[in-house]
Amino acid sequence: MSERLPPLSALLDALARASIGVVTMVQHAGRFEKWYANEPAIRPLGYTVDEWHARPMFEVISPDKRDLALSLYERFATEAPLPSALELTFVHKEGREVRIEYAVGRGEVAEGHVLVLVMRGTLYAHAQLSLLEADRIALVGTLASGFAHETNNPLTSVLLNLRSLRKQIVQNVPADHQAVALRCLDDITTGAERIASNVRALQTLATRSSSQHIDLAAVVSAVLRLAAPTLEPRAHVIRQIFPVRPVTGEESRIGQAVLAMLLFSSSGFEAEHATAHNRIVVAVEQRADTVVVEVSDNGRELAPSEVEHAFDPFFRSPVRGAAVGVGLGVARSVAMTLGGEVALVPRPGGGAVITMSLPAVPDPA
Confidence (pLDDT) at 336: 85
Task: Give the predicted TM-score (pTM) of the model.
Answer: 0.62
* Burial state string for 316-334 with b = 16 or more CB within 10 A and e = fewer than 16: beeebbeebebbbbbbbbb
Confidence (pLDDT) at 315: 63
Confidence (pLDDT) at 175: 82
Confidence (pLDDT) at 324: 47
- Separation between Cα atoms, residue 222 and residue 215, nearest integer Å: 11
- Separation between Cα atoms, residue 334 and residue 101, nearest integer Å: 11
Q: What are phi and psi of 218, to 5 degrees?
A: -70, -40
Tens place of pLDDT for every residue, the chain, 365 residues? 444 444 566 777 777 776 778 888 877 666 778 888 888 889 889 999 899 888 888 888 888 888 877 777 777 777 777 776 777 888 899 988 888 888 787 777 776 777 888 886 544 443 444 444 444 444 455 446 556 666 777 888 888 888 888 888 888 888 888 888 888 888 888 888 877 777 776 666 656 667 789 999 999 998 898 888 888 888 999 999 999 999 998 888 888 889 889 988 988 887 677 788 999 999 999 999 999 999 999 988 888 878 887 887 666 666 665 444 456 877 888 888 888 999 999 998 889 999 999 999 987 65
- Separation between Cα atoms, residue 10 and residue 23, nearest integer Å: 15
- Separation between Cα atoms, residue 315 and residue 323, nearest integer Å: 10
Count CB-CB contacts under 10 A for residue 274: 14
- Separation between Cα atoms, residue 227 and residue 236, nearest integer Å: 13
Confidence (pLDDT) at 157: 83
Confidence (pLDDT) at 218: 92
Q: Which of 294, 291, 194, 288 is nearest to 239 (CA)?
A: 294
- Separation between Cα atoms, residue 55 and residue 57, nearest integer Å: 6
User: What CA–CA distances, in Å, run from 152 to 86, 90, 165, 195, 199?
Assistant: 33, 35, 20, 9, 7
- Separation between Cα atoms, residue 63 and residue 42, nearest integer Å: 18
**CA torsion 59→60→62→66, rounded to 10°?**
-50
Confidence (pLDDT) at 292: 97
